[in-house]
Amino acid sequence: MKCVYCGKEYGEGGTTIKVSNGTFDVCSNECKKLTREYLEKDERYKTRSYLLIFCGSVGFILSTFVFTGTYKLVPMYIGMIIMGISLIVYPYIFSSFITFTRHPIKKMTLMVRIMGLVIAVLSLWFLIAVFRQV
């Protein structure tokens, strides 16, 4: 069996966690607790993280249709910084139980956070570059 939270393969001594869309294997009570916490946070912050992603998309729209000239891409970069930060703070958006069967929660959360950090840092760097050119 494979733990849905930490991804560890285990033979015996594990337990299971029941959620709305099925029952999943967890290797220990610790992982069970963390999975439950994760699901609660996921539930609680889902709307908020979608809202942040939406704010980020507004930046893309502004850059594409509204802004022109030197500052054309500024709203897009700001939007991407918002998106990146929202991924770091709320890494729940890209994960679901469908992906958990292939990637453990622990790994997914870390991957999404790193992705968010890369997006935020790169966008900030591009943003600074725009203002340096002026």
Q: Where on the chain is the footprint of Zn ion (CB under 5 A)?
A: 3, 5-6, 8, 27, 31
Task: Report the residue number, 5 or 45, with the smaller CB distance to Zn ion.
Answer: 5
Task: Report the residue number, 2 or 72, with the smaller CB distance to Zn ion.
Answer: 2
Task: Report the residue number, 15 or 70, with the smaller CB distance to Zn ion.
Answer: 15
Number of helices (H), then strands (E), belonging to the chain: the values are 4, 2
Q: How far is the CB of 1 from Zn ion (least distance, A)?
A: 10
Q: How far is the CB of 14 from Zn ion (least distance, A)?
A: 8
Query: How far is 134 from 70, CA to CA, in rounded Å?
Result: 8
With contact defined as beta carbons under 8 Å apart, do 81 and 120 qualify?
yes
Q: Would you call 96 helix, strand, or coil by DSSP?
A: coil
Q: How far is the CB of 26 from Zn ion (least distance, A)?
A: 6
Query: How far is 70 from 63, CA to CA, in rounded Å?
Result: 11
